Every structure is written in C-alpha cells, then in structure tokens.
Structure 1
Amino acid sequence: MKVAVLLITLLVPLMLVGVPAAALSLPEWLKLGLHAEETQGPPRPVVSIIVEDRGADARWIPGVVSSRTQVQLGFQALGRMIARPVDLGDQVTKGEVLAQLSTDDLAATTRAARAALDAAEVQQRTARATLERTEALAERNVASSAQLEQAQQAAISADAAVEQARSQLLQAEDAEGFARMIAPFDGVISAVYEAPGAVVGVGAPVLQLSAEDAREVVIDLPEQALVGMAPGASFSVWHRNDPGAEVTSVLDRIDPIADSATRTRRLYLTLPPDAPFRLGALVRARFGTAEAPSLSLPVEALMTDDQGSTVWRVRRQDDRAHVERVPVTAAAPFRGRVAITEGLEAGDEIVIRGVQSLAEGQAVGRRLEP
C-alpha cells in the first residue's frame, strides 16, 4: 500500500510537466473564499430609539390636589350633634360656627357645678367665722389650743373645697363651650364624616378643613422608583381634560415610611400659587419638565457590570454609522423602563436590541423601529 502511494506521488509531477498554465488555474467554485471581503454585505441594521422627553404621552402618575395645611375637626365633649351649617366644598372664615352639639346635658352639668361652688363658699364663710371666734376666745384663754387648731384646719379645708368647686365649674363651662365647633382658620370644607343627629364621641372626626394658602399634589410611588429622586426635583402636572396646560411643581417631601398595604411612599409636590387646580381635583404628574426633560430607556438597553451602567449610542455621519459605549447614571427599573439622570441628551440614538453582540466602534447600518 505504501509503495502504491509513493508511485502516485512521483508520477503526478511528471504528468503535469508540459501542461498549459491555463489548465492549472482553480475552478470558479474554489475562488469564492478569496473574494469574501468583496462580496460582504452592508453593516447590520440596529433596533434603536431616539431618546426624548415624551411629554404628556410619557408614563404619568395619578395624583390629588390637597392642602398643605388641613385638619380633622372633632368635639372635645360627648354629645348629639344637632346642627352642621356647612357642607362639603363650602368656604368658611376663621371663627365661623361649623357644627353644634346639644347643650341640655352640658347646661345641667354647669348648673350643678355652680350650685356646688355656692355651697362650698357658704361652708368657707362659716369656717372663717368660726376661726375668728375661736382666735378671740383663745386670746382670753377661754378656748383651748386644740379648739383653735381644729378651727384652723376647718378653715383650710373649706378654702380647698371652694377652689375645687370653682375648678369644676370652669370645666363645666368649658365643656358647654366645646359644644360649638369653631373654624380655626380660613379654608374649605374638604371632607364630612358625620351628619346632624349623630352621637359623636370625644375627638371623633366630624369635618376636615383645608387651608387655601398652599396647595400641593399628592402621589404614591414604589420604593424602586425613588432611587436618585430628592426634594427639589421638578414634576409636570396637568389635568386630563387640558393636557396642554402643564404646571411645574417641585417635590417638597417624601413620607419616610411606606404604606403597609401598598408598600408605596407618598410624595408631596408643591404647586405654584397661580395653579388652575381646585382642592380635591384629580390630576396627572410625571417626572421632568420642558426645561429639564426626563429621559428614560427600555431596561433592555442598559448594560450593568462592576464598572457601572452603560448603553450603546449610535453616531451617524452621512451614510456611515458606528456605535460607542457611553456610561450613564440610571435609576432603578420601574415598569420596564429606567430613568437616565446623567450621560445622555435628548435626541441621542440608543440601541435597545442585541446590545451584548456589539463592539466598540463597530459599523452599523440603518435604524429599525422597535
């Protein structure tokens, strides 16, 4: 077998001697690999988006316009409410009567306290007269020291009884005054909890009064949506029926404790004084304004490693384009998107598909809509 292979190896060169050069050229099907670069197609297209502030079409959060100063009002005495001259939405002024309890029982208590004070004052006058007589007798050695001491103790006890009765009368008069609920400041009745005829307990809420001096929007957000958000952040607020009339509001404070049921935190956005929203109005809010837009990307566009977060930005010039890796500062993902706080500008083209298969400076083709 080895001998046969050797003979073939020696005979092939001899057979090729004198063969024309054209006969030695490679067939066409073997030449494809030599021209691979010449037959290569255009760069691959990329699925990308243009980063922009999407205005009213962006993800919005429902909110309610409320007052920064609002209190729930109740009575400081137990009783039956016989009148409530105000209703939901009424404008009230400081000192105006908002509700009233029946004063029959309270008036009887006041009369009893006043009678007790009268009786105590009679006892006081009697004890003082007795003390004066005993002191005069003691000076003439007619009354003993024990009698004088007993008269002094009786006078002191009578004085104390008068003070106690006077204090009880003041408490009864205050309780009778508590039967009238007075507005502590100018405002609007923003909630009603009890109707006339109901028996209300001490401190039970009857009305809610909201001041109109400072209005704010109350919204709720989950914990992950608050990453990178601090007091002073700007929000856009608008009414559903008038999305073109946006009002800029500023984040004033965030509740430090999450709601036990929804696990969300409450945010309070301060409205400007000329905001065209009434108390209790349902509005929509979103992070960012026209002057300081809020940029966000689908979470698939973000690449995160030990060095931080990066995205692929497409640079186009004439008919050529390439990608570059850009570091960004991003908040936590929320509803499939992530807010970009630093690193990008409105108008940047960002790749959102196949980000793991790209390389720095790689040429790319046309842009495809996601």
Structure 2
Amino acid sequence: MMRFAAALIALSIAAPAHALDLSGWLDFSSHAENIDPIRPVVSEIVQDRGSDARWIPGVVASRTQVTMAFQTLGRMVSRPVDLGDRVRQGDVLANLAAEDLAATTRAAEAALAAAEVQRDTARLTLERTQALVARNVASAAQLEQAQRAATAAEAGAEQARSALVQARDAQGYARMTAPFAGVVSAVYEAPGSVLGAGTPVLQLSAENRREAVIDLPESALASLPDRAVFTVWQRMDPDRQMRAVLDRIDPVADAATRTRRLYLTLPPDAPFRLGSLVRARLGTASEPALMLSAAAIFRRDGAPHVWRVLRDDGSARVEAVPITPAGDFHDRVLIQDGLAPGDEVVVRGVNSLSDGQPVGPRVRP
C-alpha cells in the first residue's frame, strides 16, 4: 500500500499539468449561473367575502304602498278588513255613514231648485224692464238693475248646480274600495271615528313586488356595484335562501344613525310575507362577493389583470387572468368576473412576472 501511494505521488510530479487538468470537473460556476432560482410568491387565496360576513337585519316591504283615505268628511260606520287581510281589486275597505251624505245631497238639490226659480224670475223681470224701457216707461237705471239681478241669479244657479255635483260625488265617496290587489299592512282609524277629508284610514300594500329593506353605513356603500346581488333568508329557515338584487339606495342618510337605506328586489316566488324579518348578506353561492387586494391588479393593453398561481404535483407557475372590477373599498377591490373562490393570486411584485414563469411556495402577505 505504501508503495502504491509513493508511485502515485511520483506520477503526479512527473506528469504534465495539462494531463491532470481537473478544472472541467471541479468548475461549477458556469452551471450555477445558468440556473434561474425559483422564488416564493406573496399571494392570497380569493374568498367569498359575503360568506363570512355578518348578516344584515332587514324587513320585507312592498314596492307599492298606498295610504287609503276618504275624499270627503263623515263618520266611518264600518271597516270590514283588518291588519294582515288580503284583498282583491274592488273589494270594500271601509264605509262612511250614508245618511248624512244623502241629507247633504238633498239639501243641495233643494238649493239648486231655489236658485233656478230666482234665475227664472230675474230673467222675466229683465224682459219686462226691457219692454218698459222700449216704451219709455222704465228708466235706464231700472234696466241696469234688472240686468245685474239676472246676472247674479244666473251665477247663483250655477253655484248651486256645482254644489249639487260635489254633494253627489261625496255621496259616491262614502265607500272605499281597493285600487289593486294586496294586503292591509297598517290600520289607523276604527269604526265610529269622525274623519275629515284625507284622514288616513289604512295602508294597502301590493304583494306582486316585494323588497327587502336594509340599512348600511356610508363606508360600506363604496364597494357596492350597481345591481349588487344579495342573499336573503329568515332566521327560522336558513336553508331557504333567496337571491335579491339591489334596486335603489336612499339619497340621504338617516340623521340619527347616519345609515343609508337599501332596497333589494325579491323574486316573485319569495316565501316571505310583508313585514317579515329577514337577514341579508352580500353575494350568493353562484355569484360570490370576491374581494382582492388592489396591489394584485396590473394592466395589460389597458385592461386589468391579475397573476393567478397554478400549482400541480409540487410545481407552480403563474398565468395572467383578465378581471372585471366592480368597485373599490379602501385598499380592496370587489371582483365581478374573472376569478373564483379558492384561486391563489399574487399580490406582491406583479410587475416582475411573466406568463408561465415558475414560482415557489406561497408566502402570506
């Protein structure tokens, strides 16, 4: 063994340097330069913002609500409907005492008859005065007086005729009927009350267009797009959820709570009765409310994009995905289209990536 080691040393001393050139074996610098390191990415998982959001209390109301009142004064003698009753168009809702209105009509008829007699008498007087003036028996002053009396009598008869028309109309207003099919949602007066014209008696609400009414603070409205979609359900039946669409927002905030009222249109087959308490949240199972950091968005050809991470069998790469933003909320963006819950999106260094570029493990932002 000692002889073999000594021979190897002697060979290394005697051999030329280039014969034992091991630089090609031991130089790893060129290989290291060609390897592109796979960097980790700072990303977030897209989630349905509405699924974890707290529900918002609301109440079911009608889009069409009418306060019913009599068009004439009188004493209400009957109200055959009560709170919560469903009525059809033309159904009687309340009645006034017909005797008082009938007496008023008879008095108006008598007043018209007297006014017509006075008118006819004034006409005859004017004709006689004109004949006397033609024979120089009556003076011009008497003729003017007869003309004035005839004109006043004509006006009095016309006034009495109008009063009779009003009395007959008032007699017809003694019966209150439903202008459309709906439900009695409020009652203000009971039978026996003496009412003036226009005094509210009850409220009638149509059932064909129902809404869920909720209140939100001003800060929460910034991220709501037009026609935002909500999920509405009742506490006692959480599995029966309905899709509701934002219809309108009150332009003025409530002075006490500083909240704005939102009206969500419910489908015609919604099982909620008027006045029912409901719960609402933004988004639905098929139309989730996806929120994303604004730093994840970059523009390509003028259109907003994000980098979605595709992971498969331990490898990962990024791809550019076009998105449709629906609104901003501070440093977050509501995504309307382009992503789905569970997608991994890069939120840092978006301007230094390219399509198909491999990436490393995920780092939380």
Length-normalised TM-score, structure 1:
0.69
Match of 1:194 among 179, 189, 192: 189
Backbone CA RMSD of aligned residues: 4.2
2:140 alignment partner AA: S
The whole-number CA distance in structure 2 between the counterparts of 1:345 and 1:96 is 52
Could you say which residue in structure 1 is the equivalent of 2:134?
A: 139
Residues 151-190 of structure 1 show CA distances to partners (whole Å, capped at 9, x for unaligned) of 2221111000111122222223333433332211222112
The whole-number CA distance in structure 1 between the counterparts of 2:55 and 2:232 is 9
Deviation for aligned residue 1:263: 2.0
Specify whether residues 338 and 192 from structure 1 end up closer, same or farther in structure 2 by C-alpha distance, changes over 3 A only: farther
**Partner-residue secondary structure (3-state), 1:123:** helix
Specify whether residues 323 and 223 from structure 1 end up closer, same or farther in structure 2 by C-alpha distance, changes over 3 A only: farther
**Partner-residue secondary structure (3-state), 2:126:** helix
Deviation for aligned residue 1:218: 1.9
Q: Note the 1:204-243 alignment, pairs <5 A.
A: 204-243=199-238
| Identity fraction in percent | 65
Does structure 1 residue 122 correspond to structure 2 residue 117?
A: yes
2:107 alignment partner AA: A
Task: Answer with 186-195 or 56-65: which moved more.
Answer: 56-65
**Partner-residue secondary structure (3-state), 1:95:** coil
Match of 2:267 among 264, 269, 272: 272
Could you say which residue in structure 2 is the equivalent of 1:14?
A: none
Deviation for aligned residue 1:251: 1.9
Deviation for aligned residue 1:350: 7.1
Deviation for aligned residue 1:84: 0.9
Could you say which residue in structure 2 is the equivalent of 1:87?
A: 82
Match of 1:203 among 195, 198, 205: 198
2:213 alignment partner AA: V
8 Å contact from structure 2 (residues 60, 213) kept in 1:
yes
8 Å contact from structure 2 (residues 225, 327) kept in 1:
no
The whole-number CA distance in structure 2 between the counterparts of 1:145 and 1:125 is 21
**Partner-residue secondary structure (3-state), 1:190:** strand
Length-normalised TM-score, structure 2:
0.70
The whole-number CA distance in structure 2 between the counterparts of 1:198 and 1:350 is 68
The whole-number CA distance in structure 1 between the counterparts of 2:164 and 2:189 is 30
**Partner-residue secondary structure (3-state), 2:75:** strand
**Partner-residue secondary structure (3-state), 1:125:** helix
Match of 1:167 among 162, 165, 173: 162
**Partner-residue secondary structure (3-state), 1:286:** strand
1:191 alignment partner AA: A
Deviation for aligned residue 1:366: 7.7
The whole-number CA distance in structure 1 between the counterparts of 2:281 and 2:169 is 50
8 Å contact from structure 2 (residues 222, 329) kept in 1:
no
Specify whether residues 344 and 94 from structure 1 end up closer, same or farther in structure 2 by C-alpha distance, changes over 3 A only: closer
Deviation for aligned residue 1:314: 7.4
Does structure 1 residue 65 correspond to structure 2 residue 65?
A: no
Does structure 1 residue 289 correspond to structure 2 residue 284?
A: yes
Match of 2:72 among 68, 77, 89: 77
8 Å contact from structure 1 (residues 75, 204) kept in 2:
yes
